[in-house]
Structure 1
Amino acid sequence: MSKQQTEIGKLKEGKYVVVDDEPCKILSISTSKPGKHGAAKSRIDVVGIFDGVKRSIVQPVSAKTYVPIVERKNAQVISIAGNTVQFMDIKDYEMFELEVTDQQLSQLEAGKEIPYIESLNKKKLDL
């Protein structure tokens, strides 16, 4: 299972939420008081974990939303070809490739273990 359902009112800053099918980290939450004709609303400012894009959503506190399951895992560097690095997960031996930046590349070498983040079938290095 890659995501769970919860209510907007139960979200907390620093946790994660799915916005536009992208797992995002919550930067801030502001809640308005209930008005004459309706429920309290929350404005949630988020930033995408994988794409770095800032987004905002405004929804009633009682509305349902999804929280992504964000897993922190470790992988071993198998091979490096330019900026494409092949990794193997330490626990389940799954092989995968990631494009890395030059800065990340300088911290990698074959055989080294590195942490990475996985959520909604996307992966990124946690350096």
Structure 2
Amino acid sequence: MKEQTEIGKLKEGRYVVVDDEPCKILSIAISKPGKHGAAKSRMDVVGIFDGVKRSIVQPVTAKTYIPVVERCIAQVISIAGTSVQLMDAKTFDMFELQVSEDVAAKLVAGTEVPYIASLNKKKLDIDE
């Protein structure tokens, strides 16, 4: 799910959708308007799920989408190699995530772990 807003209303630390990927805003620089143009905004962002850094330049008055980022809790059901089966604590939905071997070694079946969900993507919210 995503909402629409103006570029000029965004702040550092918030989220924005770039190339259909929810991204966290690292920095924003706004230039002065020129003789024949509008003020421009340069944003440096990093993808929440893929970790790719991106830069975008758009007019301050342009519209963009901001993703709805939910932080949830899930219970670890089973661990098979790097595949972890989880169940959401509120909705009881079952889903599976691929994690690194280091993270899989830290997880224990039956414990609760935080995760992030946005734009039909999910990721464990634990330090690797």
Q: TM-score range by the shorter chain?
A: over 0.9
TM-aligned CA deviation for residue 50 of structure 1: 0.3
Please give the TM-score of this superposition, normalised by the length of structure 2: 0.97
Deviations 1:70-124 (A, max 9, x none): 0000000001111100000000000000001122112211100000000000000
TM-aligned CA deviation for residue 37 of structure 1: 0.5
Please give the TM-score of this superposition, normalised by the length of structure 1: 0.98
Specify the code of the residue in structure 2 equivalent to 1:99. Answer: Q
The answer for the alignment partner of 1:116 in structure 2 is: 115
Specify the code of the residue in structure 1 equivalent to 2:17. Answer: V
Q: For residues 82 and 107 of structure 1, what CA distance do their matches in structure 2 show?
A: 12
Specify the code of the residue in structure 2 equivalent to 1:53. Answer: V
The answer for the alignment partner of 2:69 in structure 1 is: 70
TM-aligned CA deviation for residue 48 of structure 1: 0.3
Specify the code of the residue in structure 2 equivalent to 1:125. Answer: L
TM-aligned CA deviation for residue 49 of structure 1: 0.3
- The ranges of structure 1 where at least 4 consecutive aligned residues each deviate by more than 4 angstroms after the TM superposition are none
* Matched residue SS, 1:38: coil
Q: For residues 37 and 89 of structure 1, what CA distance do their matches in structure 2 show?
A: 53
Specify the code of the residue in structure 1 equivalent to 2:93. Answer: E
Specify the code of the residue in structure 1 equivalent to 2:48. Answer: I
Alignment of 1:1-127 (within 5 A): 2-127=1-126
Specify the code of the residue in structure 2 equivalent to 1:50. Answer: F
Q: For residues 49 and 70 of structure 2, what CA distance do their matches in structure 1 show?
A: 13
Where in structure 1 are there 5+ consecutive unaligned residues? none
The size of the alignment, in residue pairs, is: 126
Identity of aligned residues (%): 75
Where in structure 2 are there 5+ consecutive unaligned residues? none
Q: For residues 95 and 52 of structure 2, what CA distance do their matches in structure 1 show?
A: 24
* Matched residue SS, 1:106: helix
Q: For residues 6 and 93 of structure 1, what CA distance do their matches in structure 2 show?
A: 32
